[in-house]
Structure 1
Amino acid sequence: MWENRALLWKKFLRTVAILLVTSMLVSVIFFQQAVEAASEPRTGGSYYNYGEVLQKSILFYKANRLGDLPDDYILPYRGDAAMTDGQDVGLDLTGGWADAGDGIKFTHPMSYAAGQLGWAVYEYRQAFEKSGQLDDILDEIKWATDFFIKAHPSPDVLYYMCGYEESDHSVWIPHELLDYRTKRTSFKVDASTPGSDVAGQAAAALAIASLIFEPTDPQYAATCLTHAKQLFKFADTYRGKNPLKTLYPSGSYVDDLAWGAIWLYIKTKDASYLDKAKSVLPAKSLGGQHTHCWDDVSYGAALKIAQVTHDAEYTAMVEKNLDTWMPGGGITYTPGGLAWLSQWGSLRYASTAAFLAFVWSDDQTVGTASKKAAYHKFAESQINYALGDNPRGGSYVVGFGKNAPEHPHHRTAHGSWTSMLSVPSFHRHILYGALVGGPTSNDSWKDDISDYTLNEVATDYNAGFVGALAKMYDMYGGNPLENWPKPEDFRAKEDNLTEYFVRGWIIYEGYGTLNLMFQINNRSAWPAAMKDKLSARYYMDLTEVFESGHKVEDVEITLGQNQGAKLYGLKQYKDNIYYFTVDFTGTQLMPAEWELCEKDANVSIKYKDNCGSNENDWSYKNLTGPPDYDAVSFAGKTPYIPIYDNGVLLWGEEPLKNEPDFTYGDINDDGSIDTIDFALLKQILMGNSPANVNMQAADVKADGDINALDYAVLKSYLLKIVDKLPQ
């Protein structure tokens, strides 16, 4: 009897063991299947090109760069901007990123964005390498961290803002004109005015930079670490929120201290940093359904603390937060499936929560395995929503996918010359890769530049999105575009959108008199530029004057009412063709507002004894009247009154001269104008004339003299500042 019981007991135990093993195997298989299900292609059976959107989302940061940009910058509509930053305090604080669609530079959200991008590289470096985007994203992060280093001139000082709301938001101008139209005041925190929030955040960004730059630039990584340690010590020693007025008032500073401390621990393995992170951010203080963002990095800090310690309390709090983002977890879901936290940057929060969910579900050493499939599925759904899996069937990334936004709230991409959101009615540039704010809680959205709630773009909006895209690329691939971007991709299709031009009108004509109004226009946007050496030329045919026995002196040219012009002329162009110049040198023209983008001058032409007529003048073609003062229209624009910058033709057509049997600028007569010709011209000007060169072609300006002006014209042509040379 007892033997039978023992046998039965053994069978029972064996059965239980088999059931337990089977249960474990089923759980593992279920988890794997759930992950595979979550990793299926988006609705419709095809993948998005995650490589392309990753590439473009990184490029967005180049559109917001401030400082000294290369002459051959990848974005032809961007140029040097905010070059006076720091001059008011005797420092060079140029560089960094403009925060959003405006032109203010904030260290706090910028350091969050740079740190978040760095975190993405830290987690998914291989994805960036495989996609060919590693150098680009490291370059962007360095652009920001270089600024943080400049902004930290001594251990207990950090500059946290350049420019301010009242001045910056009073205009709607391209970034290139900030120095001319706004006050770039510098603001700092120090021992007497602490800012543990902004300093702690900057310390974290630099600590992360020290990690990700170590393989490629160990010296720079060491510099970043030195500043990170000093900034953290400053933030920890002089505790307090930045009390000064800013568009980014911080809710707390303890999260920033914890964020800086945990990354310093990861870099240095100094346990005191880990102890500090845990002491300022105890697990019990965490909770809520918010997520990682510039003003609250406690969620990211807790996640990293949990990963490095495997502490059960921190693990529980990380998952408690992620659980709130799951369907039914407490957060609002739009009918189309977006986890919607706030009207301000709804996609920013969802994509960053997705990044945290990806990082957590990827870690098989900590957390609850049965939950990770759901976290993973949530993350994919949020990124795909932003790319097109939504009721609109459209992308929320500028320049990517179907029905993408075309009117983001971004001053430089818009390119207004009147400081107005409505002028022009279209965007002159494509702000590739920018993630707009996103829809309302019912999935509604309108592509409207004036609705900055739904269409604002910002460096912090894209930050978490880039990291989540790297993970999507890592799973599904996708090909970044080759030989991209191309300059023509950025030009508006409107044929009439000329940057520099002259409008001309006839005010009065009769009895040997012609009264004209000239209007010089600067609507530049490739890039926007201030010009103070613009001029226009009116070309006249004096054949009738000479045939009647009169002289050049019998033609009287006088300057009437004007806005800063001078009058020069008449000067012979060729044969009986002469011109006079309406010169605005010394007057600033810039695409900033109506009064600044255009300047007028009235000129009177009188013929002695009624000896001449203007009807056969080259520049008389197409002239009409009366004047049209609308700064939006192009009425009166005439290419026959060319516009010049310091004597170099910018736009318009000069009268034809006799066709030469050579090409101006092609000094070595090889059929092309290139850097070899530029080098030859330099030798000629230095008195070392090479053999077998065409000296006529070296007279680039075709004015009979080879000098520095020819050098400048050829340089402008090669840099594509001007589109043609004299013919």
Structure 2
Amino acid sequence: MQKGSFLKRSLAGVSAAVMMLTGNAVPTVTAAVIDKDNPNNYHNYAEALQLALCFYDANKCGDEVADDGYYSWRANCHVKDGVIPLTPMTPMPEVGKGKTDDQLKEDQGLGAGDDGKTKPNLGDDDPDLYVGVNMSQEFIDKNKKYLDPDGDGTLDLTGGWHDAGDHVKFGLPGSYSASTIGWGYYEFRDSYKELGLDKHVEDELHWINDYFMKVTFMDDKDNVVAYCYQVGEGNNDHNYWCPPELQVEDTMVASSSCAVKRPAYFATEEMPASDQCAGAAASLAINYLNFKDTEPEYAEKCLKYAKALYDFAVKTHVEEWNPGEVPSCSSLGYDGGFYTSSYDYDELAWAAVWLYYCTEDYDYINDIIAVDETTTNAKGAHPYTGYMKRIITDTGNCWQNIWVHCWDTVWGGVFAKLAPVTNTARDWYIFRYNLEFWSGCKESVDSSEWGYEPVHTHKYFGMDDYLWNTPMTADEIPSLPDSKTSSDFIAKSPKGWAVVSGYGSARYNTAAGLCACVYAKTTKDETFLPWARAQMEYILGNNPMGYAYEVGYGNNFASHPHHRASHCSATQSMDDPITQVHTLWGALVGGPDLKDNHVDQTKDYIYNEVTDDYNAGFCGDLAGLYHYYGRKGGIDAKENHIIENFDMSGNAKGYEQVDENGNSLPVGYFVSGGKAQEKDDGIQLKIVLHNRTVDPPRFECDVKARYYFNIKELLDEGYDIDYITARIDYDQVAGYSDNKSHAVLSDPVKYDDKGTYYVEITWKDCKFYGSRVYQFALTTKMDQQKYVYPKWDSSNDYSYSDLVSFEDDNSAAAITDKITLYADDKLIWGVEPDGTTPSADEPINVSNKNVNYGDADCDGVVTIADAVAVSRYLANAKKYPLTEAGKLNADCVDAGKGITADDVTAIQVIASGSVNGSDLPLTASSLKKITAKK
């Protein structure tokens, strides 16, 4: 849902004040939004859940984002994911081989990695790097009819979620997030429905699971041929800091392009990624359960894909293993060093347990827990042969989970769903021990300020070799004795915050909270709920920092998440703007450390990272806490309510755009200006055009600025306008484009009969975001009869009054409304000399009469991808639809008569630069003449 207004949040008072724009360094801001007089409600799980879902709308990717109706400041992006070349990439990545137990101890918790991490420089200048797919030509040829049924040589992989504040679609965190959101909805559907949030969460689940099915390619027998688990390359993506809408070819953000090459990584038989396939299978299986009663046909489709992906994961799983030893896996997906998978056994188990819930086929459970009872070691134990063998080698041993359900290790979720099925002491022990570990502490620890009474012991379920085949139900657990030897618990901050890793501590904490709520639901034992409630209080603001770690929650919250789209920089800098442009509602930031400290700073990807997997457990945790405490009859019921008529696209308080001196700054299109070399016969002028469109950010062209001046002094001396001449001194557009584009300075135009004229600077076909400088001089010509230069006082000119000198500081300029700005000949910025101001009655959208001919995919530029999109549309409009705007743009020959093959040809001509924008739309005869010349 795009808004056309240039200045949706343009700030009042700009016309009355002169605001300086200089090249000074922007100070770093580390302060959250704080209102000490109005502390947060620490128990409004309803509002927190309402906001938390919004994060996924901010991270949507593809050619349908603008139509989804959630955020006005997000628009279509990475539409070229729809035409990824079906060609082998060079070099081909290696198949992942997982981690040893020692490596796990060192690496766990590092998670995504992000900007600032040390990564190899792979040389983005290499034209073959980051292009194509990880398939051999032989594989492509063999399976082309399944991969490329329309034969256009490309793959449509649009859709899905960006991973974090970056724009890669990573596999494991994506499938983990989808499955965990689905799990929370499955367990606490009542909370979502009661709050009226069921439609929103179902929209999110549709979006991501539909994408998983879209990028799964199957043969005639519904067997998986290939599954795309990653689009984009982290090492490349992290070179750019701009909103995703601006990563478009033949454009510029600040001084360089942010266009990014996005390869696609597939799981195939030749390049297996069993962990990735199993993760997606789990999400689709849960999606079946969530929709089987309301959308049965859709649910069955999800189940079909879930089974196929699981079977493919099993088929392509490669391991080295001797019975009774820890196995190693060598069939893991590529991640570029950002989300390195430990192994695939947990994802396989996660998919299998959910497929059991879908089908009640116990073979799926056996895949997890199978034991070879025909083999016995010296101690009388039997080796595990199911997926459990990765964590428990034989029946003489058991396992203590001292981690948590997360993107790399989903055992926490596996045992939460496995224990109620097997009802063995082993599975209940593993499920419960993890929650004791998270919530408890030794008796010697002072927990008086924690807000809950922690457990100090672990339940004793029996000897390890007793647990594996001993029946036990949840009802038996409370009466078990306490262990006399086991007293290990997770580290806690002075205020009781449980921290398993300082990198994204809140994501792990809330995932454990979800497990605590599921344990209470499954066992009717609410032992761990007070801990989960206290931890959520801490997250929502009851902490030493005094603000919530959920963006936009209450009156006090972190407001500088590490997120390109919400920050919306026009300079590719994490420090500019000072205040983020958009409120990233509901994003759970990384969170505090073991000292209860947090840094609210955009560039801090440790404390303030935001990702899909951070919010996944958070949503389920909130839904569970609402179920137990926030509903009618709960102790927090009076404090729970959603925000009625919530405007996601609006901002929370504290998001005013200001410069380094605290002066207000406008957004949209505006102008600043400067002066130099003032003499009695002329002046040098600088006009800076600013594109700060934010709702959404976009590239526009065909904009012009007007500088008004008065020549009364010349007229009084008998001279006329012919004695004014212009000199072009600097055109930044030309410099940045290697002279491929230029701003154009007009001759003087008469404005009134009082000696007022203006010149226009037109930026045509200049697609940039940020600012562009144009410097020129207006001087008098020599009087050839008197051999003098007529005197002209430029200081009394209308557009002069707000200007500042840039003689000592070349970057100095002042925002002024006396230099007016126009698009489609409509005033969009400033005040004309007669007092005319931009119309507030109708929004203005800068475009070529609101149609960008040839731009079928609506990404702001015309490329060969648009021709491909139209060709696909003509071949199969149902499968390859165009948006309404896309249809208007595509109809560029005899406009109004419908889209034909001529339009495909015309778009190719437009993309080649062989026709001017002013000549569009074309007629059939003019197209014929153009193509004949070629």
TM-score range, shorter chain: 0.7 to 0.9
Kept after mapping to 2: 8 A contact 1:259/1:277: no
Which residue matches 1:276?
367
The CA deviation at 1:659 is 11
Identity of matched residues, %: 34
Which residue matches 2:580?
427
Which residue matches 2:769?
590
Which residue matches 1:84?
80
3-state DSSP of counterpart to 1:601: strand
Q: Map 1:216-365; keep pairs closer than 5 Å.
A: 216-239=294-317, 240-243=331-334, 245-279=336-370, 280-282=386-388, 285=392, 286-328=399-441, 329-364=488-523
User: Could you give the per-residue CA deviations for residues 440-495 of structure 1, whole angstroms, max 9, x where no partner exists?
Assistant: 11212222223211111111011101111012222314110011126542552543
Report the CA distance shift for 1:268/1:543 in structure 2 as closer, same or farther (over 3 A). Answer: farther
Which residue matches 1:163?
232
Which residue matches 2:724?
555
Residue 189 (str. 1) matches residue 267 (str. 2): yes
Which residue matches 1:640?
818
User: Could you give the per-residue CA deviations for residues 50-109 of structure 1, whole angstroms, max 9, x where no partner exists?
Assistant: 111111111122122222322684333322222222423322222222111222211221
Q: Map 1:585-664; keep pairs closer than 5 Å.
A: 585-591=764-770, 597-606=771-780, 609=783, 610=790, 613-626=793-806, 635-645=813-823, 647-656=825-834
Q: Which moved more, 1:223-232 or 1:531-540?
A: 531-540
Report the CA distance shift for 1:165/1:305 in structure 2 as closer, same or farther (over 3 A). Answer: same
3-state DSSP of counterpart to 2:365: helix
Kept after mapping to 2: 8 A contact 1:514/1:606: no
Match of 1:444 among 597, 600, 619: 597
Residue 179 (str. 1) matches residue 253 (str. 2): no
Higher relative contact order (CA closer than 8 Å, sequence separation 6+): 2
3-state DSSP of counterpart to 1:287: coil
Residue 123 (str. 1) matches residue 178 (str. 2): no
Kept after mapping to 1: 8 A contact 2:402/2:437: yes
Kept after mapping to 1: 8 A contact 2:40/2:556: no
The CA deviation at 1:552 is 4.3
3-state DSSP of counterpart to 1:354: helix
For the residues of structure 2 that align with 1:603 and 1:278, how far apart are their CA atoms? 81
Please tell me the residue identity of whatever aligns with 2:797.
Answer: D
3-state DSSP of counterpart to 1:385: helix
The CA deviation at 1:546 is 5.6
Report the CA distance shift for 1:342/1:605 in structure 2 as closer, same or farther (over 3 A). Answer: same
For the residues of structure 1 that align with 2:522 and 2:353, how far apart are their CA atoms? 17
Question: TM-score, normalised on structure 1?
Answer: 0.78
Kept after mapping to 2: 8 A contact 1:550/1:611: no
Which residue matches 1:669?
none
3-state DSSP of counterpart to 1:171: coil
Kept after mapping to 1: 8 A contact 2:277/2:310: yes
The CA deviation at 1:131 is 0.7
| Structure 1 gap ranges (5+) | 1-43, 592-596, 667-685, 688-707, 710-727
For the residues of structure 2 that align with 1:45 and 1:420, how far apart are their CA atoms? 32
3-state DSSP of counterpart to 1:599: strand
The CA deviation at 1:175 is 2.2
For the residues of structure 2 that align with 1:319 and 1:202, how far apart are their CA atoms? 27
Report the CA distance shift for 1:195/1:647 in structure 2 as closer, same or farther (over 3 A). Answer: farther
User: Could you give the per-residue CA deviations for residues 327-358 of structure 1, whole angstroms, max 9, x where no partner exists?
Assistant: 13421111211121001111111110110111
Residue 566 (str. 1) matches residue 561 (str. 2): no
Please tell me the residue identity of whatever aligns with 1:204.
Answer: A
For the residues of structure 2 that align with 1:122 and 1:498, how far apart are their CA atoms? 42
Residue 211 (str. 1) matches residue 385 (str. 2): no
Please tell me the residue identity of whatever aligns with 2:275.
Answer: D
Please tell me the residue identity of whatever aligns with 1:388.
Answer: G
Q: Which moved more, 1:168-177 or 1:543-552?
A: 543-552
For the residues of structure 2 that align with 1:325 and 1:486, how far apart are their CA atoms? 34
Q: Map 1:358-397; keep pairs closer than 5 Å.
A: 358-364=517-523, 372-397=525-550
The CA deviation at 1:640 is 1.2
Which residue matches 1:136?
200
3-state DSSP of counterpart to 2:520: helix
For the residues of structure 2 that align with 1:651 and 1:71, how far apart are their CA atoms? 28
For the residues of structure 1 that align with 2:804 and 2:673, how far apart are their CA atoms? 8
Residue 492 (str. 1) matches residue 561 (str. 2): no
User: Could you give the per-residue CA deviations for residues 120-144 of structure 1, whole angstroms, max 9, x where no partner exists?
Assistant: 1101111001111111111122222
The CA deviation at 1:234 is 1.5
For the residues of structure 2 that align with 1:458 and 1:466, how far apart are their CA atoms? 13
3-state DSSP of counterpart to 1:348: helix
For the residues of structure 2 that align with 1:508 and 1:514, how far apart are their CA atoms? 6
3-state DSSP of counterpart to 1:179: coil
For the residues of structure 2 that align with 1:45 and 1:640, how far apart are their CA atoms? 44
Q: How many residues end up aligned between the 2 structures?
A: 613
Please tell me the residue identity of whatever aligns with 1:476.
Answer: G
Question: TM-score, normalised on structure 2?
Answer: 0.61
Kept after mapping to 1: 8 A contact 2:713/2:793: yes
| Structure 2 gap ranges (5+) | 1-38, 86-153, 219-223, 250-257, 318-330, 371-385, 393-398, 442-487, 632-639, 659-663, 735-742, 784-789, 844-894, 897-916, 919-934
Q: Which moved more, 1:82-91 or 1:105-114?
A: 82-91
Please tell me the residue identity of whatever aligns with 1:626.
Answer: F
**Bigger helix fraction:** 1
Report the CA distance shift for 1:379/1:92 in structure 2 as closer, same or farther (over 3 A). Answer: same
Cα RMSD after superposing both structures = 3.1
Kept after mapping to 1: 8 A contact 2:401/2:430: no
Kept after mapping to 1: 8 A contact 2:41/2:540: no
Kept after mapping to 2: 8 A contact 1:500/1:521: yes
For the residues of structure 1 that align with 2:272 and 2:759, how far apart are their CA atoms? 62
3-state DSSP of counterpart to 1:656: coil
Which residue matches 2:215?
151
Kept after mapping to 1: 8 A contact 2:827/2:837: no
Please tell me the residue identity of whatever aligns with 2:243.
Answer: P
3-state DSSP of counterpart to 2:432: helix
For the residues of structure 2 that align with 1:72 and 1:568, how far apart are their CA atoms? 42
For the residues of structure 1 that align with 2:336 and 2:361, how far apart are their CA atoms? 35
User: Could you give the per-residue CA deviations for residues 264-320 of structure 1, whole angstroms, max 9, x where no partner exists?
Assistant: 221233333333243433387353311110101122112212223323322222122
